[in-house]
Amino acid sequence: MQNTTTTIDVLGRKIHEIRGGEGRPLLYLHSAMGEAIWLPHLSTLAQGRELHAPAHPGFLGSEGIEQIRDIEDMVEHYQSYLDAMGWESVDVVGLSLGGWIAAELAARFPHRVSKLVLASACGIWVREKPIADIFAIDTRFPERLRNLLFHDVNCPAAQWMVMPGNVELPDEMLINIMNGFAATAKIGWNPLLHDPRLERILHRVTARTLCLWGANDRVVPLEYGEKYAKLIPGARLEVIPACGHLAPLESPVAWLAAVKGFLA
């Protein structure tokens, strides 16, 4: 599917965005891996919809990370992004870090989110099942990251992460990953990838909500999906068997069927 790369002005910040498809707008908020590039699952999401995938400040050339101090600033950024796009309300799909941002947006500004997909979203805390400390992973050695992100380390997406001979990643790719992790740390270093205030306001979410989780998520365990589904009124949980944290890459058929079926 054809797609375009453009720059959006949000409060004077130049934001990198890719978009494709035609129809009602659909907003995709990416994970800390920075997948705001035209991957196959985005192409499928764009069938029958106008998909917008902006890069968060600090990712892929998007400006403004120096003005982001915490998750509230990031949510305010996306409130301003919606204003810049002229959308009163929009359907939102958020993966991992993007799911956290989407949950905060839907709780703080309920009228701005029509339907909500929280895919392997961090943002809350389960004491018995802490979120994995992604900042402790040495990203120079992608096999370690692969083993954390995927249930089946032999799936095509997982194998793509490992260079022949286990050599280090190319400098440009490593810089993008490190910049993304640095931007993630601005909002998710301490406390680790969650907002203690979020649980108390999730009852405000009015969007019809799907919580979509891999059964074997080692980063944000399934218990987080169960908790989100309990805290958000009317939310339901769908679990993808034999799948890890990056479900749209590891189990794209099942993940896309769930998302597109919910949004239809």
Nearest to 10 by CA among 103, 73, 90, 92: 73
What is the span of the domain harbouring residue 143? Answer: 3-263
**Cα separation of 86 and 143, whole Å?**
42
* pLDDT at residue 42, as a whole number: 96
Give the range among 74-83, 176-185, 207-216 with minimum mean pLDDT: 176-185
Count of domains for the chain: 1
Higher-pLDDT residue of 140, 194:
194
pLDDT surpasses 80 at 140: no
Across the chain, where does the E strand assignment appear?
3-10, 13-20, 24-29, 49-54, 90-95, 113-119, 208-214, 236-240
Higher-pLDDT residue of 140, 72:
72
Nearest to 145 by CA among 177, 117, 103, 115: 177
Using CA atoms, how far residue 73 sits from 77, 85, 149, 179, 186, in Å, is 6, 18, 27, 18, 10
Across 21-135, where does the E strand assignment appear?
24-29, 49-54, 90-95, 113-119
pLDDT band at 174 (very low <50, low <70, confident <90, very high): low
Burial of 39 (0-12, 13-18, 19+ CB in 10 A): middle
pLDDT surpasses 80 at 151: yes
Segment 25-61, tens digit of pLDDT: 999 999 998 887 899 999 999 999 999 999 999 998 8
pLDDT band at 145 (very low <50, low <70, confident <90, very high): confident
* pLDDT at residue 173, as a whole number: 60
* pLDDT at residue 139, as a whole number: 64
* pLDDT at residue 260, as a whole number: 98
Residue 209 corresponds to which amino acid? Answer: T
Report the 10 Å Cβ neighbour count for 50. 14
> Could you identify the residue written with the tokens 């009317």?
234
Nearest to 212 by CA among 140, 142, 170, 263: 263
Segment 74-83, tens digit of pLDDT: 999 999 999 9
**Residue 180's domain is classified under what CATH number?**
3.40.50.1820
Give the range among 65-74, 104-113, 139-148, 209-218 with minimum mean pLDDT: 139-148
